[in-house]
Structure 1
Amino acid sequence: MALPSPPARPQKPRGWRGLLNATLALSVLLAGCSTPLDARKDAQFQSHGYAADRPSVRPVRSISSFSDSLMCMDRLLRETGMPTTLITSKQLPDYSGRVAVATKEMVVTALSQMSRLSNAFRYVDYEVDIARQDTVQNLTTILLNNNQMQLQRPALYISGAIAFVDQNVLRNQFDAGTSASRLETGYSRNHNATVIGLEMHLGEFRNRTLIPGLDSANEIIIGSGGQGLDLAGRIGDYGVQFTVGRDYAQGSGPAVRTLVELGMIELLGKWARVPYWQCLTLEQNHPDFQRQLRDWYEESDPQARQQLVQRSLIRKGYLANSAQVLGPQSPALRTALARFQADQGMVVNGVIDFSTYERALSGFVGVGEDGRLARVGWTSKNGQSLELPGAVDASGTQVKVAERVIDMQIENIMLDRTAFEVGEQIFLSATVSRTSYMSCYMVSAQNSVIRLLPNATNPSGWVSANQALRIPDWMSPQPGFVMDAGSPGSEGVACFAAGTDLSAQLPAAFRGAPFVPIAGMRTLDDVAAALQQAAGAEPVASQRVNWQVVPRRAAAAAPAAAASAAR
């Protein structure tokens, strides 16, 4: 009886064993090779690293919901004439350990933005924590110990902390799926909400007591969410799987900055007794302000965006009126954009990005009766694009163009002073609405005119927009000059600002040394006429302040000059 033959084994394709052996042999050869790779052969590949290492997105300035509110506070404080106050702050820790942000530095930035025009607050920077001390602090300690430096005592200080971070106080999650022999599907969706609370207090530094009622306790919610779709199936003997997801997570850093700025406005607004609530009702504080502008930015084509921004620059006085839409690389447009960005405290790049679009059009957005943001003054053109009126709108009506404006005031501690005794020091401040070349002149009771600015400390007279210029700089240990009331009579100071440097076009007498009488000039009107003649068609902004000089109550000799260089 014949036995059945065993089943035949499946035959592998010819050449399979030989290919496998060759692959193993090659792997062993490469693994055991002692000669290193030649890096020079990768030079062409590595040379692309210089370009790949660069960021793909332009940097932007941090602009929060309360940036315009801080500028509003700055104007309020200047209008009230509040004198400069020294202030400092403690570290504002996060006891939850979940928000790793530099809260103290946000406080310093908020104080700086509230003091550009008003000079209201100067931050005293001194660190006693050895672990946080740096080179500047070490040098400060050495100079203080050797009596080579004086540290001014602040009047106020900020205290506070991130009191709590409650994560996932709200959580909503949904998952669903299907299953079959060759296809499986899944869908998931989730939403989370986290609450951050910040407590801030204002204290009096002299006695280290917190001032009752000057506190701020605010909370903010940040959220995260996501959607996911999973597909898995089989095609024959092979499996296929796809996963698609969309997620968002609102950052804790911008949230804490919003709380800090809101708290600083409340604390210092209460302390200075100014109507700070006016600065908290701006449209820019609307939570959807930037998101709505981003939607308008995305839905318009590049030419429409440029037309809107160009018209805004015309209205603001940065660009000459023209019905023609300039090219994106137009030197005139790029220069106007750069000046506008510099005046707004933005990163200067000379291009129309979203940040520039937002700042240029923020004044043309309002809240409607339904509580939603709406365009204000944007007119439709051909039913497609939108535009702003320029210096002359479509109906031929003249539209007022924003002019360069100088704001001057006397900064002596006693406000609204119009008279000074002989020899008494006088302190002024001047602020220009746009970055400009500024010059300031003083006239004495004897009709002698001298130049205060430009001088050795500022040879060009270049002044940033909305940055208070102190005359003289009473906060600097080396102000460059002092200004005293001269002989009895009427004195005054006038400042002039232009978009270009006029020094080369002025008569030779104006180009001499500062604090020296200018030949042929007897009044500030004479100076104004000379500057306007040098500027030609370009407008020159001007502002002046005057005061009376009265004899001293106690007998004393009058000084020989009203202003002199400090030694």
Structure 2
Amino acid sequence: MPVQGARQALRRCALIAMAVALATLAGCAVPLDARRDAEYQSRASVMDRPVVRPVRSISSFSESLLCMDHMLRAAELPTTLIASKQLPDYSGKVPAATKEMIITSLSQMSRLSNAFRYVDYEVDIARQDTVQNLTTILLNNNQMQLQRPALYVSGAVAFVDQGVISNNLGLGTAASRLDTGYSRSRNATIIALEMHLGDFRTRTLIPGMDSANEVIVGGAGEGLDLAGRIGSYGVKFNVGRDYALGTGGALRTLVDLAMIELVGKWARVPYWQCLMLDQTNPNFQRQMQDWFEASGAQGQLRLVQSSLVHQGYLPPETQPLPINHPQLRDALSRFQADAGIVVTGVPDFPTYERALRNFVALNEDGSLQRIGWTSTGAITTAHSDTATPLANWPAPRPWMIDMQIENPQPATERAPFQQGEQVFLSATVSRASHLYCFFADAKGVVMRLLPNGMQTQTLVSANQAVRIPDWMSPNPGFILDAGNPGVESVMCVATAEDARPKLGGDLQEPALAPLKPSRTLDEIRQRFVAALGADRVVSQIMQWTVVPRRSQATSAAR
């Protein structure tokens, strides 16, 4: 009887629970009060944010693109207009914006050299956007003109062979109370990209201007299964770990490599020198990540700060600074801007990698080694007594200005300018700086060219060519024409800080007008040095000769 009574009690409890559930469901007919969830929902705008800072999209050849930019600059190639076809993937296995990757590669190879400008015009109606539609309207009404490209890029993802090699392993045990299982798998896929360079005028592919490369991406997985039974109840447990190399990053690597090959062959420069950098080692990023994690927060900070001192972003006598010190954050921000990474002002991994990547070399056995530092930050500075001297680090690139005449003619054959002929210059700083440029005519009259009413900002990033005048702008602000016969000059001054508040009123005269009182270029430079100090100012002067026009010279001879 006690057992039967217990069963009846359980039935009553079940009936009561069912009645409560029915009453609850009936209550669902009444709308919930959204105000009760206000506090819970208020967290949505915060939880929607990413928890990891964004990073620049890079490939194994990102540093090679910068190398190509310097190489094209040294070759003094005139700016070339280029376009690209859509690069299809007939396999449908690599969904990536390949054309945009091509544009980015060309842009990175033109940041300093101005070697290429991409003609952005889309004929596919399905891909046209607001800018394209407006362009078509203006073209049809003869209100704008498109310049014809000289070159175009063609190609496609040639093939994607999945599972070229594959390995699978599985085993397990079975018993009355416990079952176990273990599995492991590995695979590799090959992606091939073929690209060509064509002559736009004849719509023919140029013989020899081709690139065909392959890359291998792989994946692996490992899993463990457990299943047990206790009486009539069962328990299952599963754990696994997997990885898969991304096809998007692999394709970017192929595109960067192909564009370096095509541009190098076309420009006839030794592009292979840019493919031999240690940073192109496939394990470079992973090794740097291992060193980063082994350093710890303090080691990372010491190494990055030492690199900033070595590269001139911090003064040599700088004492170790805490991570939130304004001077350190400012130096980090300027370095990050120069390095082309996301500006955060903190020594994160992208900053660590960019700050130390030039202090890594390849051993004879193919492994990577550190030069002058250890993973824990052991390095000698002016106030450290650790074993490895800072002098053992590779010499940094000096802070300097690189000025060039951009008129399309080789420097070795550059003839004097004729009166009235337009002069094109460019100035590039090796480190983020404030830039000021002054012009002196043949009679010694000096005026300021930069900054001016159209270009009011003085701060420029490293390795970014500043055009004087900005001939690629529809409103350049001024035109620099050769004047009276004689020698003309342009001097550019780069400073570590904005010098305008510390300069006298006579140098605050409006741009593009003669300075009053008259000053020589050397006097102006000395004013900058007196205001900021010699170690915080660099300058360069570019001169050229002006001769009378040929028609004028002929008339005078007669």
Q: Normalising by the residue count of structure 1, what TM-score does the alignment of the two structures yield?
A: 0.93
Asked if the contact 2:404–2:425 (Cα under 8 Å) also holds between the matched residues in 1, the reply is: yes
Letter in 2 for 1:17: R
Asked if the contact 1:315–1:402 (Cα under 8 Å) also holds between the matched residues in 2, the reply is: no
Asked if the contact 2:373–2:388 (Cα under 8 Å) also holds between the matched residues in 1, the reply is: no
Residues in 1 aligned to 2:452 and 2:548: alpha-carbon distance in whole angstroms: 30
Residues in 1 aligned to 2:186 and 2:346: alpha-carbon distance in whole angstroms: 37
Asked if the contact 1:317–1:402 (Cα under 8 Å) also holds between the matched residues in 2, the reply is: no
Report the secondary structure of 2:479's partner residue.
strand
Aligned to 2:214: 219
Aligned to 1:455: 452
Q: State whether structure 2 residue 226 is matched by structure 1 residue 235.
A: no
Change (3 A) 1:397 1:232: closer
Asked if the contact 2:189–2:216 (Cα under 8 Å) also holds between the matched residues in 1, the reply is: yes
Aligned to 2:195: 200
Residues in 1 aligned to 2:488 and 2:520: alpha-carbon distance in whole angstroms: 10
Which of 24, 27, 33 is the aligned partner of 1:30?
Answer: 24
Change (3 A) 1:72 1:396: closer
Asked if the contact 1:69–1:282 (Cα under 8 Å) also holds between the matched residues in 2, the reply is: yes
Asked if the contact 1:391–1:401 (Cα under 8 Å) also holds between the matched residues in 2, the reply is: no
Report the secondary structure of 1:458's partner residue.
coil
The alpha carbon displacement at 1:477 in A equals 2.3
Deviation track 1:227-280 (CA, whole Å, cap 9, x = no partner) reads 001111123443222111010001110000000000000000000000000000
Q: State whether structure 2 residue 251 is matched by structure 1 residue 256.
A: yes
Residues in 2 aligned to 1:368 and 1:317: alpha-carbon distance in whole angstroms: 28
What percentage of aligned pairs have identical amino acids? 59
Residues in 1 aligned to 2:340 and 2:219: alpha-carbon distance in whole angstroms: 31
Change (3 A) 1:322 1:446: closer
Asked if the contact 2:379–2:390 (Cα under 8 Å) also holds between the matched residues in 1, the reply is: no
Q: Normalising by the residue count of structure 2, what TM-score does the alignment of the two structures yield?
A: 0.94
Deviation track 1:101-156 (CA, whole Å, cap 9, x = no partner) reads 00000000000000011000011100111110101111111111111111111100
Aligned to 2:10: 16
Report the secondary structure of 1:491's partner residue.
strand
Provide the aligned length of Structure 1 versus Structure 2: 547
Residues in 1 aligned to 2:4 and 2:103: alpha-carbon distance in whole angstroms: 79
Residues in 1 aligned to 2:478 and 2:380: alpha-carbon distance in whole angstroms: 46
Letter in 1 for 2:381: G
Aligned to 1:545: 542
Aligned to 2:118: 123
Aligned to 1:520: 517
Aligned to 2:428: 431
1:163-562 pair list within 5 angstroms: 163-322=158-317, 324-378=319-373, 385-390=376-381, 394=385, 399=391, 403-416=398-411, 417=414, 419-536=416-533, 538-555=535-552
Deviation track 1:503-541 (CA, whole Å, cap 9, x = no partner) reads 121121211111111123443211111111122365112
Asked if the contact 2:379–2:389 (Cα under 8 Å) also holds between the matched residues in 1, the reply is: no
Residues in 1 aligned to 2:518 and 2:260: alpha-carbon distance in whole angstroms: 46
Change (3 A) 1:299 1:412: same
The alpha carbon displacement at 1:556 in A equals 8.4
Letter in 2 for 1:334: R
Residues in 1 aligned to 2:171 and 2:365: alpha-carbon distance in whole angstroms: 37
Report the secondary structure of 1:239's partner residue.
strand
Aligned to 2:150: 155
Residues in 1 aligned to 2:198 and 2:389: alpha-carbon distance in whole angstroms: 54
Change (3 A) 1:485 1:99: same
Larger helix proportion, structure 1 or 2? Answer: 2
Which segments of 5 or more consecutive residues in structure 1 lack a partner in the other structure? 1-6, 558-567
Asked if the contact 1:73–1:279 (Cα under 8 Å) also holds between the matched residues in 2, the reply is: yes
Report the secondary structure of 2:456's partner residue.
coil
The alpha carbon displacement at 1:30 in A equals 2.1
Aligned-residue Cα RMSD (Å) equals 2.0
Asked if the contact 1:93–1:161 (Cα under 8 Å) also holds between the matched residues in 2, the reply is: yes
Report the secondary structure of 2:187's partner residue.
strand
